[in-house]
Amino acid sequence: LPFSTDWFMTWQPNVHASLFMAYYRFLEKHTDLRGLELIIKGYRMYLEQVGRSGMETVLSLTRAWTMVRFFEAHMLQMATCKECGGEFVTHAHEPTKGYVCGLCHMPARAGKTRRAAAIAAAA
């Protein structure tokens, strides 16, 4: 489903969603920004970090806005990885004790997209 909480759970979207939420939550706690202004500022920070790192933008502004709505509706929550201590997006009401993030426990096919294969073949 295009606008389902499940989209945020797969490996790469989860990393990007978690990065955006880190900026969003920081700004929410330390500034007077609220609503759409808060989402846009958090999204700009996400884009800046992704651009600096040379990564592909995975999270669109629409998905970021939708994810914030899912958090407000208590459909998503943050969980702390027991390995690295990072905060990651998970389904609400899922047990988080012993949670290990997708960066500490990468799936076997992580990063093996058609685009990555095409770039490797061209090099």
Cβ neighbour number for residue 29 with a 10 Å cutoff: 7
Q: What is the pLDDT of residues 31-80, one digit of tens each?
A: 999 999 999 999 999 999 999 999 999 999 999 999 999 999 999 999 99
Query: Domain residues for 99?
Result: 5-122
Total structural domains within the chain: 1
pTM of the model: 0.86
Q: What is the CA radius of gyration of the chain?
A: 15
The residues pairing with 89 across neighbouring beta strands, listed in sequence order, are: 78
* pLDDT: which is higher, 123 or 23: 23
Q: What is the pLDDT of residues 76-115, one digit of tens each?
A: 999 999 999 999 999 999 999 999 999 999 988 766 656 6
Q: Distance between CA atoms of 9 and 31, rounded to whole angstroms?
A: 28
What is the widest separation between alpha-carbon atoms in the chain?
48
Residue 83's nearest CA partner among 106, 111, 58 is 106
Q: Distance between CA atoms of 69 and 27, rounded to whole angstroms?
A: 17
